[in-house]
Amino acid sequence: MKINRRRCLQLGAGAIAAVTIPNLIEFAKAAEDFIKGPPVKDITPKQLSKHVWVIYSPDGFPTPENQGMMANITFVTTSKGVVILDSGASLQIGEMVLRMIKRVTNQPVVAIFNSHYHGDHFLGNQAFINAYGNMPIYAHTHTREQIQGIEGSTWRNLMERWTNQATSGTTVIPPNQTIAHGQVFDFGDVHLKIHHKGIAHTPGDICVEVIEDKVTHVGDVAMDHRIANIDDGSYLGTFALYDQLKQSAGKQLWIPCHGEAKTTLLNEYGTFLAGIYETCVKAVKDGLDPSTAKNMVMKDPRVIAYAKDTKGFDNNIGKYTSLAYLEAEKEAF
């Protein structure tokens, strides 16, 4: 019998395809799941005022279990659309926020504000761009520059490592619009006012006041029973910002990205920070070393009162005392 080589190859290829296509589909799906981390569990938003909603994070640090859901996400409903105040730590978190917004309103997301350059505040930008296309993403100039530079990819990589790749698939989408202190944005029935003083938690922190609701989103410049990263920040700058906010905005419901919204937030967190910084100022004036200063801080009643319910206190107080000591030393000399 004469064998048709071409026909044989066709039959062979068909047989291989018949066997491998389902496997290839399964492989492709597994590859997609690997490249893009799994969905984040839904967290029901809480309404704080007429226009302001918060999705509260139960945790303050990224882990494989929480998939990087470590920071609150706030959104504001307006007659012109939904405004996001800090977008979370990943594409998946941003997608969860989109699902939660749809429980509240059918309006599209029309703008994003990133309070500073730490990854849990901007890595969710991608989800909203994917869903609605290009839109203004506002931030301070310093924040935009940091995210466009090495900090953007650094934070993305850190989140992947801390969450065991749960945030994989996230692309860095930097802010595309810069803003300044005192600027007011008109969203129809809602107006948002920007507050910036200088170096606080970072050099580029912005706080966003929802004027009609007497609510202000403060990012990480104040936290509720958390201890903030202040590595490139300033205690004195933070105190100055608090004074400015209180004078300019007046009585507000202050929304942090870590912990619960409170009208007393700035006073409570400010008292805790003062317990650290003022004690270090005294230590420097008395010629005491940083180790002694830390012992003094740990005995300060303002610190003791705050520490007992503060997540991450034991692991971080040493570093933040050292930073306070260095700043006090710099101011003294």
Question: Band of the pLDDT at 277, cuts 50, 70, 90?
Answer: very high
Length of the chain: 333
Exposure string over 139-169, b if 16+ CB within 10 A, otherwise e: bbebbbbbbeeebbeebbebbbebbebbbbb
Mean pLDDT of the chain: 91
pLDDT at residue 17, as a whole number: 45
Q: Residue 317 belongs to what H/E stretch?
A: helix 313-332
Mean pLDDT of 318-331: 95
CATH class (in words) of the domain with range 46-263: alpha beta
3-class SS of residue 293: helix
Q: Which residues contact 196 (CB under 8 A, 6 or more apart)?
A: 140, 180, 181, 204, 205, 206, 207
pTM metric for this prediction: 0.88
Question: Band of the pLDDT at 24, cuts 50, 70, 90?
Answer: low
Q: What are the pLDDT digits (tens) for 154-186?
A: 999 999 999 999 999 999 999 999 999 999 999
Q: What are the pLDDT digits (tens) for 89-113?
A: 999 999 999 999 999 999 999 999 9
3-class SS of residue 278: helix
Q: Is the pLDDT of residue 34 over 90?
A: no
Percent of the chain with pLDDT over 90: 83
Q: What are the pLDDT digits (tens) for 219-263?
A: 999 999 888 788 899 999 999 999 999 999 999 999 999 999 999
User: Which of 147, 132, 154 lies closest to 178 in space, CA to CA?
Assistant: 147
Q: Which carries the bigger pLDDT value, residue 6 or residue 293? A: 293
Residue 279 CA neighbour count, 13 Å, CB half: 25
Domain ranges across the chain: 46-263, 267-333
Q: Which residues contact 59 (CB under 8 A, 6 or more apart)?
A: 66, 69, 70
Give the span between the Cα atoms of 77 and 40, in whole angstroms: 23
CB 157 within 8 A of CB 149: no
Q: Is the pLDDT of residue 211 over 80?
A: yes
pLDDT at residue 244, as a whole number: 96
